[in-house]
Amino acid sequence: MVTVARKITRQKWTPRGTQPFQRVPLDGVTYDMRTENHALSMWTCDLGRDGSVNEIALVLAASRDTIDRLGVVFVEESDLQSRGIRVEPTSGNTAIDHFKARHRDAAELNLRRYCALARLLNDAILKDRCRRFSRQQIRDILAEAVGNKLLALDSLRDRVRAEIETYLASS
């Protein structure tokens, strides 16, 4: 079974009520489900393998402006497909070459599929199929990747690079 991960801002997915129309918090949708070319970016991961979730955090954190906490939610690729959502392998935008192939697009979304996807993400969040990394954990993951030469320091944004340089120098 293939699992895909999507970055989320978990506090925005707090339910507002018990009515069916309130079930999917719209703040969460508008924050975390911004499509591009009618597709939503995701990354595959293997929840049964040690380190796989950290790799997702690494890929997502390495492209940010600053080191900060990071939330991700996990859904099964087959659940997307069973709702008519096409999951398409595309080259991921990451400085780590061998992670590029792990990128997926939930592609060709229309309003019906988009709503189905929002419900899937919300259900996964309600079932606690998510993980939030603290700022310190993100710093550790980035520093380790740089230390192991998995990630080039130069590929990081200025503020992230400066913080990792300082962190590595002091540890």
Partner 1 sequence: MPTRFSLPVASQHLPPGPKSTRASGLPLGTSNYLLSEDLSLVSSGGTCSWDRALLAPYLLPPAVAPIRVVLCYYYDPFTADLAVATRHEFTAFTRQPSFDFDDLDGQIRHALATEPLLDGYTHPAEALLLSVFRKAPSSAADWMMHQVAESPDIAFAADLLRLLSRFRPQPTSWRAEIVRRALASPNLMLRDAALQAIEAWRDAELVEPLRAHREPVGWLARYAKQVLIDLER
- Which CB, 16 or 38, lies closer to partner 1? 16
Contacts of 109 (CB under 8 A, 6+ apart): 35, 38, 39, 40, 85, 117
Q: Say how far apart CA 99 and CA 133 lie, in whole Å.
A: 19
Interface residue with partner 1 among 65, 88, 97, 108 (CB under 8 A) is 65
Contact status: 61 vs partner 1 (CB under 8 A) = yes
Interface residue with partner 1 among 23, 83, 129, 135 (CB under 8 A) is 135
Which stretch in 38-46, 74-82, 114-122, 130-138 sits in contact with partner 1 by CB under 8 A?
Answer: 130-138
Q: Say how far apart CA 56 and CA 73 lie, in whole Å.
A: 11
Query: Least distance from C-beta 69 to partner 1, angstroms?
Result: 6
Contact status: 155 vs partner 1 (CB under 8 A) = no
Contact status: 40 vs partner 1 (CB under 8 A) = no
Q: Say how far apart CA 70 and CA 146 lie, in whole Å.
A: 19
Report which of 28, 39, 166 is spatially closest to residue 114, judged by C-alpha positions. Answer: 39
Query: Least distance from C-beta 72 to partner 1, angstroms?
Result: 12
Count of Cβ atoms closer than 10 Å to residue 90 Cβ = 14
Phi and psi of 142, rounded to 5°?
-65, -45
Contact pattern from residue 13 through residue 32 relative to partner 1, giving x for each residue in contact according to CB under 8 A and a dash for the rest: -x------------x--xx-
How many residues lie near partner 1 (CB under 8 A)? Answer: 24
- Which CB, 99 or 133, lies closer to partner 1? 133
